[in-house]
Each structure stands twice: as structure tokens, then as C-alpha cells.
Amino acid sequence: MNETNNREQEFLEPPNHDVFHVHDDLKHILLYFKKCEVIITDIPFIKEKMRDILDQGLNFHAYLQRSISHSNKLEMHSEGAINYFELFEDPNIDQNRISGVLNMLYESTQVNERETREIKEGYTSIHRRLKEINDEIYKYEKTTEEKIKSLRMEKEDLEEDLKSVKNMISFFFMIGFILAILQIVIEQNIFMITSIIAVVLAFIFLKCNTNRDIKIRKVEREINDLDYTRNLINTSRREIEIHEIYDKMVPLIKKMGAYNGYWDSQLSLLEQIIRDFNINTDRERNFTMRPMKERWKEVRRSCDSYTRTARQIIKDVDNDDDVLIHG
């Protein structure tokens, strides 16, 4: 009998309704997604990630609406639990009426368990994707920095080569000039031929030097473009601040997970209570558990409060134009 009493006690225990006490986090999350709607960037990669973030915002809104809808279902479940207590106050009750209420509560619990699990999984999926987006942006930023570093090293190597080639050009022009003078003075054809070869080599190196100079300017442009891109990425990262928003989602996920655990445990408990139900012992036991009725009324009030508060927060955020101006 004590085991049955304990099961009944657990069944009669209402859920911890602090799952609804996430108003500040909820407003922050909604404001964040609204701010993302007006962030503008010229980087195709960041544009793609912004679209992904906005998709997660749409998903969050959808699951938030489901949580509001679920709050209404919990309110109905609370009504059933209150009716369960009130039935025992009627001297004319019979087992069929009690069994009917218990079965209704069982079906309601099944719905609540499934919906809280899906909402929790939905929030978790959004949280995971936001973290992935943050990691992808960070990786893209690091890749850009590595490209800049590699190009700067390439530029340094080209400048060293350019310096060496300039020295070679000066050397061959000088040799050609000296040999030309010797040919005039000594009048030996070998000096003229060698002088011509030296000058030709000097022009060949000069051509190579010009190509290197063009390549250096090309590398400089690439570095400048990547520097510009990196600065835009840094600006975008500061505007997006994904790490802040997925941290704000953790309380919602934890509380919804605990909430789902409550409904999961209720399913097995209700199965046992329905199977072991005895109207005489249950009538006596419910007299000692009347305070639970008031607690279920409190849950019902909390449901109504959450629904009104959540809808008001959504309305306030929709009407908040400051976030569009100041971000």
C-alpha cells in the first residue's frame, strides 16, 4: 500500500512550472534574430551564413509558438488534475467516472511528453546549428588570415628576387659598356660580340624583372582585398555575436528537457495507477492530498501567465524599432 501511495503522490505532484520563467532570455533571443534581419554585408560567405541564422530564427519562432500552444495544453491538463480531486468530493462518484478522468490524463500526458520532447529537440537543433555557424565563420576568418600571411611571404620572396635581378641587370649593362669601350680602344671583334651578349642578357633580365614587378603588384592587390574582407568579417562577427545568443538558449533547453522528463515519468506512473486503481482507498487518500489541488491551480495560473507574457514579449519585440537603428 505504501508503494501505491508513493506512486499516487508522484502522480499528484504537479510539474515544476519554472520552465516558464525564461522571459529575459526569450526577449533577448527574439531581439537578436530581429537585429540579424537588418545586418548588411558585402561578403557572399557571410551573406549565406546570415540567411542560415535567419532560418534558425524562423525555426525558433515556430517552436516558441508550439511552446505557447503546449502551455494551453498544460492548462487543460491542470483542469483534468483538479477535476480528479474534485470528483472525490462528490459522494455519488463511481469508478467509471474516475477511470475516465485518469484515462484522459494519461492521453494528455502522452501528448505533453511528445510535444515537450519535440520542442526540446527543436531548441537543441537550433542551438547546435548556431554554434556550427559561429565555428564556420571563425574558420573562414582564420583561413583568410592564413591566405594573407602566405601572400605576404610570397611578396617578400618576389621582392628579394626583384632585388637580385636588378643587381644582375646592372652587372650585365656595366660589363657590356666596358666591353664596348675595349672594342673601340683595342678593336677586337670578340669584345663587340661579348658586349652585345651582355646587353642582350641585361634586357632579358629586365624583362623578367618587369614580370616580377607586375606579379608583386598583383599580390599586393590580393592582400589589400583580403585585408578588406578580413575587416568586414571582424565587423560582421561583432554584429552577429552568435556565441552570446546560443548561450542564452541553454536555459530554455535545460528547462524543457527537465519538463519533458516530468511527463515521461508521469506516463509510467499513470499506467500503474490506472491498473491498480481502487475507488475506496483512493477516496481516503485524496483527503490527505487536497493541498495538491491548490498547487495544480497555481500551475494553471502560470500557464495563463506564460501565454500572455510570451505573446506580449513577441509583440514588444515586433514593435521595437530601436534594435533596427542601434542594433
Q: Flag whether 294 is in a domain.
A: yes
- Domain's final residue, options 203, 231, 259: 231
Mean pLDDT of 120-137: 92
- Domain's final residue, options 231, 261, 286: 231
Residue 72 and residue 137 share a domain: yes
Residue 136 and residue 66 share a domain: yes
* The predicted structure's pLDDT at residue 230: 81
More confident residue, 325 or 123: 123
Give the separation between CA 327 and CA 323, rounded to whole angstroms.
Answer: 4
User: Which residue in this structure is represented by grid cell 520542442?
Assistant: 119
Least confident of 46-60, 87-101, 139-153: 87-101
Q: Provide the domain count of the chain.
A: 2
Residue 14 and residue 108 share a domain: yes
* The predicted structure's pLDDT at residue 124: 94
* The predicted structure's pLDDT at residue 275: 76
Residue 250 and residue 121 share a domain: yes
Alpha-carbon dihedral sign for residues 310, 314, 320, 323:
positive
pLDDT band per the 50, 70, 90 thresholds, residue 4: very low
Range of the domain at 250: 2-147+241-326
Residue 207 and residue 280 share a domain: no
Mean pLDDT of 115-121: 92
pLDDT in tens, 166-205: 655 565 555 555 555 555 555 555 544 555 555 555 555 5
Q: Flag whether 92 is in a domain.
A: yes
Q: Is the pLDDT of residue 127 over 90?
A: yes
Residue 153 and residue 139 share a domain: no
Q: Flag whether 165 is in a domain.
A: yes
- Domain's final residue, options 231, 258, 291: 231
238, 319, 175: which is closest to 41 by C-alpha? 238
Cell representation of residue 226? 583580403
pLDDT in tens, 283-320: 545 544 556 777 777 777 777 777 777 888 888 888 87
Query: Which CATH number fits the domain that encloses residue 97?
Result: 1.20.1170.10
Q: Flag whether 236 is in a domain.
A: no
Residue 246 and residue 227 share a domain: no
pLDDT band per the 50, 70, 90 thresholds, residue 123: very high
* The predicted structure's pLDDT at residue 327: 47
Cell representation of residue 229? 574582407
- pTM for the complete prediction? 0.73
Cell representation of residue 183? 672594342
Q: Flag whether 225 is in a domain.
A: yes
Q: Flag whether 65 is in a domain.
A: yes
pLDDT in tens, 25-72: 888 888 888 888 888 888 888 889 889 999 999 999 999 888 888 877
Q: What are the C-alpha distances in Å from 268 to residues 7, 8, 102, 257?
A: 10, 12, 13, 18
Q: Provide the angle, in degrees to the nearest 10, between the axes of the packed helices 95-186 and 279-287.
A: 70
Q: Flag whether 199 is in a domain.
A: yes
Q: Flag whether 72 is in a domain.
A: yes
Residue 167 and residue 106 share a domain: no
Residue 140 and residue 47 share a domain: yes
Give the separation between CA 114 and CA 99, rounded to whole angstroms.
Answer: 23
Q: Which residues contact 69 (CB under 8 A, 6 or more apart)?
A: 115
Residue 184 and residue 161 share a domain: yes
Residue 282 and residue 272 share a domain: yes
Percent of the chain with pLDDT over 70: 67
Residue 264 and residue 202 share a domain: no
